[in-house]
Amino acid sequence: MKLQLLPSTFDESEKASCRQHLACFIVDDLVAFDAGSLAMACSDKQRDNVRDIVLSHAHLDHIAGLPLFIDDLYSALTEPVVVHATADVIDVLERDIFNWSVYPKFSELANEFGPVMAYRSFDLGSAFSVQHLQVTPLAVNHRVPTAGFIISDGRSTVAMSGDTSAMDAFWPTVNETEQLTALLIECAFPNELEDLAEISHHLTPRSLAAELEKFEADCPIHIINIKPAFRDTVIAQLGELKIKGLAILEVGKVYDL
């Protein structure tokens, strides 16, 4: 399984910056998990191929690229872009984003080939298929109802928490998963911003270490969703934990998992 965290910004020489403002993970150039920077940073191949977008929740850094992606493709789409999300998230998108005030209501629009956008809802705990992937959405613990995912292509299986604080429902299912290839888990804030992390339901290196006590598999752990303003501090504090197999997921790099 190929997995790539798309860049959020580019430096003056047009190289991807390591600062991750937005969340968008593309699997096999075909399925997007969250759409933060999808329109802005996807490759031509990804723009041509990605028609399924699986959302963890509706926070801006996870959906910012979704309206723009459909806008870019509007007249070229021969099939709708399918947004997979919980009913709660779909309600938020329809009420607060695709409402004509913020952006067009693409779910009601069609080009010469047909509808340009469709929703497919999923329930937390119930697995579903997207293209060649089997996806199990699991409840995590964020400020709003949010899904983590176990993603399998039949050979590799990746668990991804997305935005979260301390989790209960996530770990038992992850620990039961056979031959987990990798864990992706967030660490948004440094230890000294524990109060802010608690209010906003995010992790710090200290609370991440407590979470990883619940994790039983022996596989690489990739850290995602570090707030750019605190990136250096968070990385230094993560290094002090000396957790085996733990590394920062590099922005833009294509991982073969």
Chain residues that interact with Zn ion, rule: CB under 5 A: 59, 163
Nearer to Zn ion, 56 or 157 (CB): 56
Distance CA 150, CA 169 (A): 13
The string of DSSP codes covering 207-236 is HHHHHHTT----S-EEEE---GGGHHHHHH
Give ∠ CA 36-37-41 in degrees, rounded to 5.
165
Q: What are the helix (H) ranges across the chain? A: 38-41, 44-49, 60-63, 65-73, 87-92, 170-176, 194-200, 205-212, 231-241
Per the document, the length of the chain is: 257
For residue 83, the SS3 value is strand
How far, CA to CA in Å, does 87 sit from each of 16, 56, 84, 149, 193?
34, 12, 9, 16, 32
Nearer to Zn ion, 52 or 186 (CB): 186
Nearer to Zn ion, 46 or 141 (CB): 141
CB contact burial 217-234 (16+ within 10 A = b; e otherwise): bebbbbbbbbbeebeebb
Q: Which residues lie closer than 8 Å to 184 by C-beta, 6 or more apart?
A: 25, 158, 159, 160, 161, 222, 223, 224, 249
CB of residue 72 to Zn ion, shortest distance in Å: 24
Nearer to Zn ion, 59 or 227 (CB): 59
Nearer to Zn ion, 52 or 163 (CB): 163
CB of residue 146 to Zn ion, shortest distance in Å: 7
CB of residue 150 to Zn ion, shortest distance in Å: 19
Nearer to Zn ion, 59 or 84 (CB): 59
CB of residue 34 to Zn ion, shortest distance in Å: 10
CB of residue 143 to Zn ion, shortest distance in Å: 7
CB of residue 23 to Zn ion, shortest distance in Å: 8
CB of residue 41 to Zn ion, shortest distance in Å: 19
Nearer to Zn ion, 8 or 152 (CB): 8
